[in-house]
Structure 1
Amino acid sequence: MVEAHEHDAPTERASTNDSGIGSARPDSLRRDPDIWFEEGSIVIVAQHTGFRVHKQLLSSISPVFQALFKPAGIRRKPIVSLFNGHCVVKGPPVIHVSDSAYDMKCTLRALYDGQKYLNGMSPYIPFSVLSALMRLRHKYQLQDVIDDAARRLGDYFTTDFNVWLQYCREEKDETFDFSEDEGADVFEAVNLARLTGKVSILPLALYKCCQQDLAAIMFGVRRKNGDVVRLCQEDVERCVRARDRLFRESCKMIDTVTGALAERAPRCVTHSACSRRMAILVEAFTAMFATLINTDALSGLEEQLGSLATMSEWTQLCDACREELVRQHVKKQRETWGSLLKILDVEHRSLTYRWSGLMIRK
């Protein structure tokens, strides 16, 4: 079993087409320190990094690996590589793939370690790990434990409004960690959903893309390592159109909050005090109207209130008035959620059914 080690973010993305037969300069091939089984029967080389693995095991898991390991794709000469400047290593046949070394390592470790691989990192699984697993799961037709990556992304980019509310209220932890390049991550989530057919991820992933500035949507987001992650042209246009709709939904949400602040809750027991506090909040909220409008129309109430959430007039409202405001806000959130597929121009029969079905839940 492969031991769990801390993951470094990938430093570069390989091309998407495999060449099969290839050659590596002897002084450029690096043996991976974690996935190098001395009894392994084949070496997979990705970006000059060699992984010595078991051909029969991988062939039984993936029909794509099985095809790659046929004689036509294997370089029959043994590997001759220099390690530490002087150690000559000879080994089994080698197959070259075009995947990044990072993606290949994540995938091989998931295959060897099973569910222990992701569970051992939970809940702080790097997004880059899930991304790698989903990409190579699709390419190599892998199932089972690799599906766990898609499930964890799906848990966050949910189709369930009630789960979304839990995230808004910080009652539920995220199932993975975004990188420092969160904008690039959400763009990549959309691209992964398109690549793998996981359409359930699309609505919230596209919604998150709409939170990025217009230039990022138009031209992509550059990661720290220099890679630029872009949406396809159709999704760029989709997000640009959706931003206008989300701005309008944000205005409606502000109107809802302002209206709720204008009236005390029927069960309010501190009438005069709450009336005075709510009048101050309405005045402050109205003055801040322009700064509160954004594309995050599904955000939680305190995010909608902005700095007003720290005012004593808000924190000292009676429980009944606060609960009524929360109820009105959730009602409007639910309406916006119900319109999200239309706002984003996302159409898929199974997705529409699931999204609509969940809307009737209380």
Structure 2
Amino acid sequence: MKTKNLGINTICTHVGEVEDTQFRGAISPLFMSTSYSYDGMDAKRYPRSFNSPNQVALSKKIAMLEKKEAAMIFGSGMAAISHCLLAFLKKGDHIVLPQTLYGGTYNFVVQDFEKFGIEYSFAKGFSESDFRSEIKPNTKLIYIETPSNPLMKVTDLQMIATLAKEHNLISMIDNTFASPINQTPGDFGIDIIMHSATKYMGGHSDISAGAIACSQAHIEKIWATSINLGGHLSDYTVWLLERSLKTMALRVKAQTKNAKKMAKWLEKSTLVAKVYYPGLKSHPDYALAKKQMKGFTAMLSFELIEEINPVEFMRSLQLVKYSMSLAGVESTILSPMETSHALLPAAEREKQGIKDGLLRFSVGIEEVEDLIADFEQAFEKVKIKEIN
């Protein structure tokens, strides 16, 4: 069957399966071996070489989802990011990044790059001139994250890809918040696409994984570094991730639809000071998000009015879980200050616009009416407590 024009659900379900030639089961068999014969075989297979049967098959699915030639799977999103950056940067090289970044990525750059002699600059904004002004003769990469974590800033993918090519640079993106369902950066010329597959690719809050999709030439360079660093994923988790990806399009589309409804409802609430969601017409990047995204995202952030204690509000929720991480089928809420951006100094969080009262809301697949009812009862509890 030709795979070029397959629908997204068909890709999620069928591409990158391991064929069960013995029993012809409906799902991929799981190969747990860490020792494979190499005599007369097509490859010397070993899990740390990223080429076990399940790893190779799943990489094909992820590559097709992101419209790239090849992919690799890692033990976490940060493993994917760190392996990829170290594959293309060496002592004396320079990278340009946006000021607003996932806390783990920011911490890796500012704490570890100096050890490797790698230079970095943060763009002061998100325009072409902001990024262009930071490019130096030794710049090798432009790295972006869009929508950004947690303020949902949107960066122009076409602009970044064009700017990178103009200066013979490699462009990289963390596409986690959008997922391949809501955004395919390869369509705009972005070279390397990364994911915390823990999130929408996994989707059930039970997998830790990372993924990279790019050209075959780039994947070979990443592989050469990664085989030394050893950040591969166990084959059992690879198998679980392939299972989860089968329903990714269904899950993400439902979550995105709910997120837009919740963003509109929160924006109307007198108890909410500000909502950050690129699918709202009030969002400064709405037009750009509509241009380059297929369905926005299922993530949003918001700030409560000062009179409401955000921690007490989260504790009062009954359906929405006050917990870490994001993108599971269940709705979750957290404080970036306490979790994803806890490693950033308070001054840096303030510089990025991440207030202590900011809440990040990962919208699940529940009926949106039930989510609204949960928010309403939590608001009522907090208001009563404030009065007392």
Greater helix share, structure number: 1
Q: Point out which structure has higher relative CO (alpha carbons under 8 A, 6+ apart).
A: 2
* TM-score tier after normalising by the smaller chain length: under 0.3
Relative to the length of structure 1, the TM-score reads: 0.28
- Give TM-score scaled by structure 2 length: 0.26
